[in-house]
Amino acid sequence: MAVDVPQSDLRLIDGYVDALWLEKGLAANTLEAYRRDLTFWAQWLAEREGVGLLQAGKAQVLAYLGAQGALQRSVRSSARLLSCLRGFYRYHLRESRIQVDPTADIDSPKLGRPLPKSLSERDVEALLLAPNVDEPLGLRDRAMLELLYASGLRVTELIGLQFSQVSTNQGVVKVIGKGNKERLVPMGEEALDWLQKYLRYGRPALCAGPPTEVIFLSQRGGQMTRQTFWHRIKHWATVAGIRATISPHTLRHAFATHLINHGADLRVVQLLLGHSDLSTTQIYTHVARERMKALHAAHHPRG
């Protein structure tokens, strides 16, 4: 038989949520999530332990977190729940309603670094073939997608690319990345070929505005925005029949992952991506490892 949450606990929750709104100005959805988590916690305490929110101890908190884990909550959800409880008890400790915070000595679950979303080589090929290169905008988009995948540029580096940064003779791009760090990145023959086609046939048709050194022009002849290019990629992904949600950064991830899949040295990939710390690049070895595990599971007799 379900036990109702004591009115005294409901008033404590209301007071805490009101304090969050006043002190931090949190959004209504966030406040409602806090209220819901605390109400479930109070319900569990009333039913299982027969105590109120302010009588709970560390053992009850650990038991509740364990019960939620048994329900297969994700590590991230468990961390969020503990953060909610911790905030509630710290507030009431500050208000002198409790003497001991029952969450004080409980470590938060360690969140594994999420693997970046990538695309298979087949999906990348379909995406690159999607634009209609008989039109200036399609030719521009094909050149941008080819260059993005071939060089692993960040989207801001791509849309701001200027003629002074590109050497078609040497087939390299000089990129000014984060922290004004400069790096040289090879384009590859395919991307270079499409870039030259765009410069010869596509860009002149888009030069409607004042003269500019920016290579990739918008429909109005100015520099493209990140949002515009993001929408263009989403459009071509739909045309290509790619169901995964992708962004300009997805091709940067695909660039790194596919290089490592084909045996590239991690430090070379680090230089190409412009990462100052090798540990940032090492995430791609995990992506490649997950791909290898999937292939092994699918094709090995004992997979």
Catalytic positions, written as ranges: 154, 178, 249, 252, 275, 284
Q: Enter the tokens of residue 70.
A: 């048994």
User: Exposed, middle or buried by CB within 10 Å (0-12, 13-18, 19+), for 172?
Assistant: middle
Q: Which residues contact 86 (CB under 8 A, 6 or more apart)?
A: 101, 103, 106
Q: Are 58 and 64 in contact (CB under 8 A)?
A: no
Nearest-CA neighbor of 103 among 156, 161, 62, 164?
62
CA gap 152, 163 in Å, rounded? 18
Q: What type of residue sits at position 22? A: L
CA gap 151, 72 in Å, rounded? 40
Cβ-count burial 240-260 (b if 16+ within 10 Å, e if not): bebeeebbbebbbbbbbbbbb
Q: Enter the tokens of residue 36.
A: 């819901």
Which helix (H) or strand (E) covers residue 94, if one does?
helix 75-94
Nearest-CA neighbor of 61 among 94, 106, 95, 27?
106
Please provide the DSSP assignment of 146-202 as one string: HHHHHH---HHHHHT-BGGGEETTTTEEEEE-GGG-EEEEE--HHHHHHHHHIIIII
Q: Are 85 and 101 in contact (CB under 8 A)?
A: no
